[in-house]
Amino acid sequence: MMETDHEFGYLAVPTAGSGPGILVLQEWWGLVPHIKDIADRLAAAGYVALAPDLYRGTTTNSPDEAGRMLMALNIEQAAQDLEQAATFLANHEAVTGEKLGVVGFCMGGQLALLAATVSDRIGAAVDFYGIHPNVHPNFSRLKAPVLGFFGEQDSFVTPEAVEQLISQIREAGKTIDTYTYPGAEHAFFNDTRPEVYNAEAASDAWQRTIAFFQDHLAA
């Protein structure tokens, strides 16, 4: 497996040297080691994974600062960044297949939905407890099936918010399947945060994510 820091962010290529491409979108903390680790895990599963650096080098472990950076994100610029990252990844010599996947976490989960509406290259989108108050994807432009993972005890993305998301996507005539894990909190997938990490939920969600990409992205 090869990992490199690229102008777009962090790129992980599988040992085999090629595979379908997947964008990995950061939480509100920035492009931190946890997100790079997810890209590495995808590369180990046979995918070429690119984690774009949407904060352009800035990271934090302070919730207050992360909240400020999330709210300061220029959504129009982020949409352009996502489209450019998708174009770069699709054209990368290691990437096989016509369509890309996208997976995002927290802020990145909502941006994954945005990416799937601004780029025609996205063929599968995975949303882990996505939230951003200023990101409102136009689901009429969604051309990829969506898989969503949520925590029953998530105070940021409540069960009501999940139902609203499902309704919005299905009313637009698009496809979404979701899983809500009993007792799981926001960021249950983040194994660098033991106070919220839920190993059982994370393992199940990961297996479903890999199976979803295998179903929808040609090798």
For residue 66, what is the domain's CATH number?
3.40.50.1820
What's the total number of domains in the chain?
Answer: 1
Contacts of 114 (CB under 8 A, 6+ apart): 75, 78, 79, 82, 135, 137
Catalytic residue among 40, 127, 132, 186: 186
Catalytic residue among 106, 127, 132, 216: 106
By residue range, what is the domain housing residue 116?
Answer: 2-216
186 is catalytic: yes
- Tens of each residue's pLDDT in the chain, 219 residues: 555 555 679 999 999 999 999 999 999 999 999 999 999 999 999 999 999 999 999 999 999 999 999 999 999 999 999 999 999 999 999 999 999 999 999 999 999 999 999 999 999 999 999 999 999 999 999 999 999 999 999 999 999 999 999 999 999 999 999 999 999 999 999 999 999 999 999 999 999 999 999 999 976
Contacts of 108 (CB under 8 A, 6+ apart): 24, 25, 26, 27, 35, 128, 130
pTM for the full predicted model: 0.96
